[in-house]
Amino acid sequence: MRPATLLVLLAAALTAGCTQIQPNWTDIPGTDLAQRNAFRLDTATPPEGLDEEEQQRWDERRKLVRGLVSQELTAKGYRETINDPDFLVRFWGKRGGAYSKFRYSGEQKGTIDIRAMDPETGKWLWHGWASETIVRRLDAEDELRKAVPMILEKFPRSATTLQ
């Protein structure tokens, strides 16, 4: 076998099953997100019918995403609070068209969705998400570690950090 053919086959084998995370975001016109200072992360509730192992995996991923979101927003000058937040942050995972428990099998499109909302009106202030095709994997933690910072890269910095 020729060396060039061998290199092409090796590259194909190494990248089989790998896809690229595709982040997206929407700035909602007329919002004043950068003028707000404090956020609260809303706690997601698990889907019904999880067995013990699935519940544990779901809890681990929720904690992972929660920590990543908090870290990214804090780095942008916001502070996390429980009482009287200026905006709420909600996140969830889904696969295909249905919301899921951050667990994928076979070849499916997995999505992590993050939204900032006004705590009083429920109006969206910002929306970001990332998708990736998951191939033969039951563990999405690596993808979540990459996707959350990519999504929040375009989240506006707090005005307090710009002064």
Chain centroid to Cα 79, Å, comes to 19
pLDDT tens digits for range 49-75: 878 888 888 888 889 999 999 999 999
**Phi–psi pair at 69, nearest 5 degrees:** -65, -45
pLDDT tens digits for range 106-151: 455 678 889 999 999 989 899 998 887 655 454 578 888 988 999 9
Q: Which of 17-31, 35-49, 66-80, 105-119 has the least mean pLDDT?
A: 17-31
CATH of the domain spanning 20-162, picked from 3.30.160.670, 3.40.50.300, 3.65.10.10, 3.40.1110.10: 3.30.160.670
Q: How many CB atoms lie within 10 A of CB 47?
A: 15
Q: How many CB atoms lie within 10 A of CB 58?
A: 20
- pTM for this prediction: 0.76
pLDDT value at residue 108: 58
